[in-house]
Amino acid sequence: MSRSLSLAAYLAYARRAGRAGAAPDTPRPEGKLIWAHAVDAARADTLVHLAGRLAQQRPGLHMVLTTTEAVPERRRSGGTVIWQPLPEDHVPAAEAFLGHWRPDICLWTGGDLKPALLITAARREIPLYLVDADEAFLERPAWRWFPDMPRAVLSSFTEILTRSDAAARLLRRFGAPARIVSVTGPFQEGAMTLPCNAADREELAALLRGRPVWLAAMAQVDELEIILEAHREVSRLAHRSLLILVPDEISDSIAVRERLDGQGWRYVTWSEGETPRETTQIVLADTRGEMGLWYRLAPITFMGSSLVPGQYGRDPNEPAAHGSAILYGPNVGRYLRRYSRFAEAGAARIVRDTETLAGAVQRLIAPDQAAAMAHAAWDVASKGAAVTDRILDMLLDRLDRLDRLDAQR
């Protein structure tokens, strides 16, 4: 670590000025643990996605996620992510936090670097990684009073990944060693393709060849009227259109079938082994674990649980990863940032009622229209996946090295 009189002065002040505060009331779980910090809510969502990917590769791995914003109610417990407030940037608070959690790795996102926290972690020989470094979060007014401190803090990182060339230049100007700085682009939720039975896909693709197909995924019973009436309107324009309807809850299938029977729809039920015929209007996809099949078959996906109040949407990364254009309703609060990202890229379109849903599907039935949106969706999803994969590999490599060191002790 670089010698820095400014840093020494800052840390001396930070030791005198700070208090340890209350110890966390959540016990440290067994096994390896990553401390990740999110400078804003968008990066917090991305880190939760990363934690899920890590847990798939390393069962038993946990992430302590610190934020400066209030923790969403739905995130406060459960899963592999333990949400905690970021401690004050004072040495006693840093020592209390790190002494309790004993993280194996620190993953800091964005910027807004906290010298006392980071240097205390470095002195405990915790590997530090700065990812998604953003020019907007790197300037710190206090650094003008401690001119050589940025170099000392940045030199404590093992690797720094930036979202832009401008951020990389700024970091090098602050004194970050050029060898540890790489430009990777934004760190955003990547999308993973879902498994699919190849034989089922080939059979259905052959049966449906030439037919306009669209998917209503994770639909609520209260949304059925809008979805079915929209399909009726679509069928007037393209009489061979087929709707694949996936209820959000399998237990809703009985109510869905009653509605389909009552309105006289010609449908088949996938759980009963039925396959669509030329006259079939709807496939009721009432099973779990086969979304990869439906996304691959449908060039257009309406993501349900989004039209009626009290819902919060479903993850748009799923259809995007499979090359499906995305339609969604206004109630997508949990995934708003993701939908906004796809909408800005021309990959997703909001609908509000029967008229707008039917109109959007009718426009996208033209293959070139759906293909343009689907390509845009895949492009957004794949860019996020590439950066996520880079960070995932970086962390897994470090964890493997730590395991080897543990085995030698």
Q: Kindly report, residue by residue over 127-149, the tens digit of the pLDDT.
A: 999 999 998 888 777 666 666 77
Phi-psi region of 371 (alpha: psi -120 to 50; beta: other; left: phi over 0): alpha
CA distance 124 to 118: 10
**Is 405 part of any domain?**
no
| Predicted pLDDT at 357 | 97
Shared-domain flag, residues 203 and 150: no
Shared-domain flag, residues 110 and 139: yes
Range of the domain at 356: 198-383
Give whole-number Cα distances, 325 to 55, 178, 367, in Å: 29, 41, 11
Domains in the chain, number: 2
Contacts of 355 (CB under 8 A, 6+ apart): none
| Predicted pLDDT at 2 | 46
| Predicted pLDDT at 8 | 62
CATH number of the domain enclosing 109: 3.40.50.11720
| Predicted pLDDT at 247 | 97
Looking at 187, 208, 231, the residue that finishes a domain is 187
Shared-domain flag, residues 306 and 375: yes
Looking at 154, 187, 220, the residue that finishes a domain is 187
CA distance 219 to 303: 7
**Is 394 part of any domain?**
no
**Which residue's structure tokens are 């049966």?**
207
Q: Are 313 and 333 in contact (CB under 8 A)?
A: yes
Shared-domain flag, residues 131 and 234: no
CA distance 252 to 67: 38
Shared-domain flag, residues 226 and 334: yes
| Predicted pLDDT at 142 | 66
Q: How confident is the model over 217-276, as pLDDT tens digits?
A: 999 999 999 999 999 999 999 999 999 999 999 999 999 999 999 999 999 999 999 999
Shared-domain flag, residues 90 and 183: yes
Shared-domain flag, residues 94 and 176: yes
Centre a 10 Å sphere on the Cβ of residue 241 and count the other Cβ atoms it contains: 21
Looking at 187, 214, 231, the residue that finishes a domain is 187
Q: 128-133 and 105-109: which strand pairing?
A: parallel
**Is 159 part of any domain?**
yes
CATH number of the domain enclosing 218: 3.40.50.2000
Q: What angle do CA 315, 281, 363 make, to 5 degrees?
A: 60
Contacts of 170 (CB under 8 A, 6+ apart): 135, 138, 139
**Is 399 part of any domain?**
no
**Is 81 part of any domain?**
yes
Residue by residue, pLDDT tens for the chain (409 residues) are 445 555 566 666 555 555 656 667 789 999 999 999 999 888 888 898 899 889 888 999 999 999 987 665 545 445 789 999 898 888 888 899 999 999 999 999 998 899 889 999 999 999 999 999 998 888 777 666 666 778 888 999 999 999 999 999 999 988 899 999 999 988 877 667 788 999 999 999 999 999 999 999 999 999 999 999 999 999 999 999 999 999 999 999 999 999 999 999 999 999 999 999 999 999 999 999 999 999 999 999 999 999 999 888 998 989 988 989 999 999 998 888 889 989 999 999 999 999 999 999 999 998 888 889 988 888 887 777 778 889 999 999 999 998 888 887 7
| Predicted pLDDT at 76 | 47
Shared-domain flag, residues 257 and 181: no
| Predicted pLDDT at 150 | 84
Determine the longest span between alpha carbons in the chain, in angstroms: 80
Shared-domain flag, residues 166 and 229: no
**Is 59 part of any domain?**
yes
Shared-domain flag, residues 104 and 214: no
Shared-domain flag, residues 173 and 307: no
Shared-domain flag, residues 289 and 167: no
**Is 64 part of any domain?**
yes
**Is 407 part of any domain?**
no
Reduced DSSP (H G I as helix, E B as strand, rest coil) percent helix, strand, coil of the chain, to 5: 50, 15, 35
